[in-house]
Amino acid sequence: MEMAGSPVRFAERFCGPPGAANGGFACGTLAALLDGAAEVTLRRPVPLERPLLLRDGNGIALLEDEGRLCAEARAPATPVGQRVPRPPTLAEARAAAGRGAYYDDPVFPGCFVCGPARAPGDGLRIFPGPVPGREVWAAPWSPDPSVGGPDGLVPDEVVWAALDCPGGVAVAEGRATPAEGAALLGRMTARLAGPVRIGTAHRVVAWLLERDGRKHTAGSALFGPDDQLLAVARAVWIAVPRAAPPVAPTAIDTTGGGSA
């Protein structure tokens, strides 16, 4: 990896919780430095609009803020995406979008991915809702040209972002502790399997995998118009009271709760 001393800056546009980068976008930025699937663990909030440092820690990509470790990426210990549910149709995804209980009072309305306060062409506006008769959440997504490159493709970090929040909504609505009002991304593993094109109608799907105390594991996947599996992810989410500061789990140990 050629990254020693490489600077990176996360723009305000790509926020998740207020004052911090969207977890999936930050994870995808770091994962792009590795070949193939990657497992990224968030250690503290990833700040916006200031230079951070990327470096190689013996084959592990590290993201640091003034010497403090924010995130680390490595090859995953176990494969990702072994249990991907059948995708809903585009009509089912459109019917489900925005119907989740989360959107009655969203925790992070300004989030780059799932925030309803973000205008078209600014945020991704992916609003997952439950699919009737199935234990999955789904939403349509047609990537806006503003997140595409000159080749008409969506960069990897935006695909990671699109996989992030749907799993969080599934956790927020499907967990056994509904009194806890927020779920924060602790670790995310993803494998990208095909190109994602701007202006094409995709479907994002999420589902719950397991619970362990405050830790909840969710899967998510991105499907193309012909049911192609374009990307799949597994993520560990940490449930916290809504009154807690809406930032990444700085002091929460995510290493002992299984990989994601």
Is it true that domain 90-240 has CATH number 3.40.50.1970?
Answer: no
Q: At what angle do helices 156-174 and 23-31 cross, to 10 degrees?
A: 140
Q: Residue 34 is encoded by which pair of tokens? A: 């590795």
Burial class (CB in 10 A: 0-12, 13-18, 19+), 60: middle
Contact present, 199 and 143 (Cβ < 8 Å): yes
Q: CB atoms < 10 A from the CB of 217, how many?
A: 21
Q: CB atoms < 10 A from the CB of 259, how many?
A: 16
Contact present, 192 and 156 (Cβ < 8 Å): yes
Q: What is the pLDDT of residues 158-200, one digit of tens each?
A: 999 999 999 999 998 875 444 456 788 999 999 999 999 999 9
pLDDT at 242: 66
Residues of the chain with pLDDT under 50: 1-2, 176-179, 245-260
Q: Residue 179 is encoded by which pair of tokens? A: 């009194």
pLDDT at 80: 83
pLDDT at 66: 92
Going along the chain, which residue ranges are E strands? 6-8, 38-42, 52-56, 61-65, 68-74, 129-130, 137-141, 182-192, 202-212, 215-223, 229-240
Conformational region of residue 40, where left means phi above 0, alpha means psi within -120 to 50, and beta covers everything else: beta
Domains 6-74 and 90-240 share a fold: yes
pLDDT at 14: 98
pLDDT at 52: 96
pLDDT at 172: 86
Burial class (CB in 10 A: 0-12, 13-18, 19+), 179: exposed
Contact present, 55 and 64 (Cβ < 8 Å): yes
pLDDT at 207: 95
Domain at 6-74: CATH architecture: Roll (3.10)
pLDDT at 253: 36
pLDDT at 194: 94
- Parse the chain into domains and list their residue ranges: 6-74, 90-240
pLDDT at 35: 86
Q: Taking the CA atoms of the chain, what radius of gyration do you get in angstroms?
A: 17
Q: What is the pLDDT of residues 123-144, one digit of tens each?
A: 999 999 999 999 999 999 999 9
